[in-house]
Amino acid sequence: MPGLDLSWSRLVAASAADGRRTFHVLDTGPALAARGITPAGTLLAVHGNPTWSYLWRGVLAASLAQAEAGGTAWRVIAPDQLDMGFSERLAHPGPPRAGAGTHRSLAQRLEDLDGLMDALDVDAAGPLVTLGHDWGGVISLGWAMRHPQAVDAVTTLNTAVDHPVEEPIPAALRAALAPGVLPTATVTTPAFLRTTLALASGGLAPEVSAAYREPYDSPALRGGIGGFVADIPASAEHRSRPALERISAALRDWSRPALLLWGPQDPVFQERHLADLRERLPQADLHRFEGAGHLLAEERDVAEPLLSWLDDAVIGRADRTDADDGGAESPDGAGEGDDVPAASAGPTGRSPDPVGDVAGLHAQLAAAAAGPRAGDLAVVEPGSALTWGELDARVSALASGLAARGMRRGDRVSLLVEPGNDLTVVLYACLRVGAVAVVADAGLGLRGMTRAARSARPDWVIGAAPGLTLARTLAWPGRRLSVRSLSPTARRALGVESSVDALLAGHAGRRPDGLAPPSAEDEAAVLFTSGSTGPAKGVVYTHGRLGALVALLRRQFDVEPGSSLIAGFAPFALLGPAIGATSVTPDMSVTRPATLTAEAVAEAARAGEATMFFGSPAALRNVVDTASALDPAQRAALARIRLVLSAGAPVHPDLLDAVQKLVPAAEIHTPYGMTEGLLQADIDRDGVHAAMATGQPGVCVGRPVAGVQVGLAPLDAAGRPAEELVAPAEAPGTLAEIVVSAAHLKAGYDRLWFTDRTSRRDTADGLLWHRTNDVGHVDEDGRLWIEGRLQHVITTPDGPVGPGALETLIDALETVGRSAAVGVGPRGTQAVVVIVEPPRDTDARRLTAGRSPLASPDFAAEVRAAAGELAVAAVLVVDEMPTDIRHNSKIDRTRLAGWAERVTSGRRPGTP
């Protein structure tokens, strides 16, 4: 049985609900004792149906490995429930029938655990934590509720503690519960067992599947499976219904730590079950494993987040309680505050500089409307514009209407509205109410947007007809409001209860003065990342952190009253009113930046008298490529622009030079940031050229802006970042993961506890360090250079290499449009493969050797010469690089690496 150490296995006689019984238990207690390790606490892990304790083998192994490495030692006890796994089989007087007395009830299983834990003589000195899955989740939570003084924390994988009788049970279980089907599907045949094992995403390895089936390889051994299904209390009269209701009610009073680890693709325990658990356990930490389903422990590593959480929430909580109680003095006599990890106070030992006074975004809009600029334009889109006074009046009216409709502080609102005047009004109205805006743009695709909606679980959906149709079709949660008024038929079809137009008309002239404004600590927005490096993540911003960002933008780019911003990037369009700039939305598709033309930018500049322009690199490239269509008046409008910003991907100096010809009076900046922190460093065009002349690897993004501190986590030979941060001045030129700290960083990741934990480093004074997942170096002049993403680092025999170290050199060749460097082979011994996309006017076949994607000898030699001392094993040519679905500028290197592996191994490569 793969992963199962037989030394963990033991038989234990214990008093059960109906007499003396024999349990099979996996227990790391004896293994710890043999190593001379005293456990700090105990974890009781309960399986569901039709699995057995084998489900928890990864947790047992990881806990022992942690203890042997000097970490917290947990004794893990994973019993097989009676009639399950290798525990004692029980008599079955008749076939299993739902609600009948021929199967073991929920109350009996709780008594079984009582007897077993007594027999195991668990040390009560350390914390006791429960863990469960499936119906084992109900049982483990129920046992914790029976022993609230003994249990210190609860954790569970997918489960449910509430089954309203008026709601149908999931289809996956409904068929098995049918009276004529239950015995055959669960006992006579292994159908239920095999179906459950098939739920694992990607399938189980044959030997793992065989291990799960082994204790159930005959009908005589499967009675417990049928009995477990029969014990699902789907009806009010079911004999296990009272026990389930006692558990679900008791959970509302549970105030100690709780952790939910969830596979969202589970057809059995669904989003409504998770929502119910979160409502009963509002203090619970949650980590969603996007793409995983019912057999979460087989599909993802649950041990690492679980053990990390136990250290943080259970052991750490106990330590804090001891400290609050006076705590014992440490052996070396160290005083309070002396035992602080070196990285926790920051590489330089000081906090980032403050960004100044921060006001709420809604307050800044109101201030602009009350001043002399009330009649000036605030937001402009093709064919429509609002003054500051009009914008404020509409925001106030809509906020009043939303509040009257029932929207409350903390409610989540999914915004399915295209960037422009409507979205600005809706967003600022939600912020004024204190609701949390959930923004996931259509560039994520249907699957990505659905994942985002289910993850954020909005209370409201506000959208145009296409977005509302999508939400209705895919059964997104939330009450629905349309932007425009709809016909009664359309309202019924889309489940819409009102519209923004109707609320504005019904509350015109009103102000939400009776609503207390949100505080700086309140959540303001959940912004979803691009999804270019995995499932999109929800990034949480508070009002205070957004306010800090606004203050920083104003100061960094000298935004003054009268400034006007053409926003080819949605976040900056939405921040425009807060920074005091007129926001101009150009005529383009926001999900396809490359659709922005020079004419659209020029017309936006004329309409809004623009002084600033923000566009992605892909948008800038298309603007340059379409500049020949501009007339003199349009060129004159562009000549009035004083500042151009571009971020989201590296911008080649040649592109900056081409843009400069269109906006001759403008400073051109390429700020560095990410969804988790929209501005971290900045550099202008002259600075880019000066940096490029030094010949350093990667893309120079300038120096950290005021209020941002940078730390380095140097990479080891395997490409892993160090745990201890160093200051850039202590390691110039060292390849490292970039870590930043600033007041305007994210507050956290939404419902991704483990991702949030691993992405941050807490400071002693409460500020956050954020691991950017970017790798690069800081030079001796304090400039930051980005050399790629951590997951794309190539681990050669000579050490780790950031892909940007090669790509910036190769991209400088006239025969190269853009390039991507990837690693092929085992980690630590990878070969470097370079994939090249030719310039737009070059046929890729001119650079290859025949029909193969392999570069011709002459072109390969040219690329290798550009790479210098970095050895390139192969050069491949593609017509066009694959990019992620949201940013046309971001190359999908993971996809390219798999394709390069196929090409270089001689297999049929297909297309990347």
Give residue 206's pLDDT. 96
Residue 336: pLDDT over 60: no
b (16+ CB within 10 A) / e for 656-688: bebbeebbeebbbbbbbbbbbbbbbbbbbbebb
Residue 746: pLDDT over 70: yes
> Using an 8 Å Cβ cutoff, are 665 and 613 in contact?
no
Mean pLDDT of 66-76: 96
Give residue 540's pLDDT. 95
CA distance 39 to 730: 40
Residue 98: pLDDT over 80: no
pLDDT digits (tens, 9 = 90+) for 682-691: 999 999 999 9
What's the pTM? 0.87
**Range from 9-18, 320-329, 345-354, 790-799 carrying the lowest mean pLDDT:** 345-354
Give residue 573's pLDDT. 66
How, if at all, do strands 538-542 and 523-528 pair? antiparallel
pLDDT digits (tens, 9 = 90+) for 806-843: 998 998 898 998 899 999 999 999 999 999 999 877 88
CATH topology for 6-313 is: Rossmann fold (3.40.50)
Give residue 353's pLDDT. 42
- 94 — pLDDT class (breaks 50, 70, 90): confident
Residue 58: pLDDT over 50: yes
DSSP, collapsed to helix, strand or coil, labels residue 541 as strand
- 339 — pLDDT class (breaks 50, 70, 90): very low
Cross-strand bridge partners of residue 262: 288
Residue 762: pLDDT over 60: no
CA distance 300 to 382: 48
DSSP, collapsed to helix, strand or coil, labels residue 7 as helix
pLDDT digits (tens, 9 = 90+) for 499-526: 999 999 999 999 998 888 899 999 999 9
CA distance 503 to 513: 17
Residue 345: pLDDT over 60: no
pLDDT digits (tens, 9 = 90+) for 560-611: 877 899 987 666 667 888 888 899 988 887 656 678 899 999 999 999 999 9
Give residue 389's pLDDT. 94
Residue 447: pLDDT over 90: no
Give residue 163's pLDDT. 80
CA distance 670 to 682: 6
Q: Which CATH number fits domain 793-912: 3.30.300.30, 3.60.21.10, 3.30.465.10, 3.40.50.300?
A: 3.30.300.30
CATH topology for 557-670 is: Rossmann fold (3.40.50)
Give residue 318's pLDDT. 61
pLDDT digits (tens, 9 = 90+) for 647-692: 877 787 889 999 999 999 999 999 999 889 989 999 999 999 999 8
| Number of helical (H) and strand (E) elements in the chain, helices listed first | 32, 36
Give residue 884's pLDDT. 60
Mean pLDDT of the residues in the chain: 88
Q: Are domains 6-313 and 793-912 of this chain identical in fold?
A: no
Give residue 563's pLDDT. 87
CA distance 307 to 574: 40
Name the percent of the chain lying above pLDDT 70: 90
- 97 — pLDDT class (breaks 50, 70, 90): confident
Read out DSSP for 179-216? TTTHHIIIIISSHHHHHHHTTSTT---HHHHHHHHGGG
Q: Using alpha carbons, select from 150, 162, 229, 145 the residue that is nearest to residue 193.
A: 229
The DSSP letter of residue 522 is S
Give residue 354's pLDDT. 41
Give residue 261's pLDDT. 98
Type and span of the H or E element at 768: strand 768-778
- Residue partners of 660: CB distance under 8 A and separation at least 6: 666, 668, 685
pLDDT digits (tens, 9 = 90+) for 471-489: 998 888 899 999 999 999 9
Give residue 333's pLDDT. 31
CA distance 520 to 490: 39
- 370 — pLDDT class (breaks 50, 70, 90): confident
Of the ranges 177-181, 439-443, 864-868, the best mean pLDDT one: 864-868
Read out DSSP for 699-751? EEEEEEPTT-EEEEEEB-TTSPBPSS-B-GGGSTT--EEEEEE-TTS-SEETT
- 348 — pLDDT class (breaks 50, 70, 90): very low
Type and span of the H or E element at 258: strand 258-262
> Using an 8 Å Cβ cutoff, are 890 and 593 in contact?
no
- Residue partners of 871: CB distance under 8 A and separation at least 6: 796, 832
Q: Using alpha carbons, select from 397, 400, 406, 402 the residue that is nearest to residue 415.
A: 402
Cis peptide before 50, with omega less than 30 degrees from 0? yes
Give residue 678's pLDDT. 87
Name the percent of the chain lying above pLDDT 90: 65
Residue 752: pLDDT over 90: yes
pLDDT digits (tens, 9 = 90+) for 777-792: 999 999 999 999 999 9
What letter represents residue 486's amino acid?
L
> Using an 8 Å Cβ cutoff, are 787 and 803 in contact?
yes
Mean pLDDT of 374-388: 91
Q: Using alpha carbons, select from 688, 708, 700 the residue that is nearest to residue 770.
A: 708
Mean pLDDT of 859-887: 85
Say yes or no: domain 387-518 is CATH 3.20.20.110: no
- 31 — pLDDT class (breaks 50, 70, 90): very high
Residue 159: pLDDT over 80: yes
Residue 889: pLDDT over 90: no
> Using an 8 Å Cβ cutoff, are 129 and 310 in contact?
yes
Tokens of 897: 């690496």
Give residue 92's pLDDT. 84
Any idea where the domains of the chain sit in the sequence?
A: 6-313, 387-518, 557-670, 793-912
Give residue 766's pLDDT. 57
> Using an 8 Å Cβ cutoff, are 490 and 473 in contact?
no
- 357 — pLDDT class (breaks 50, 70, 90): very low
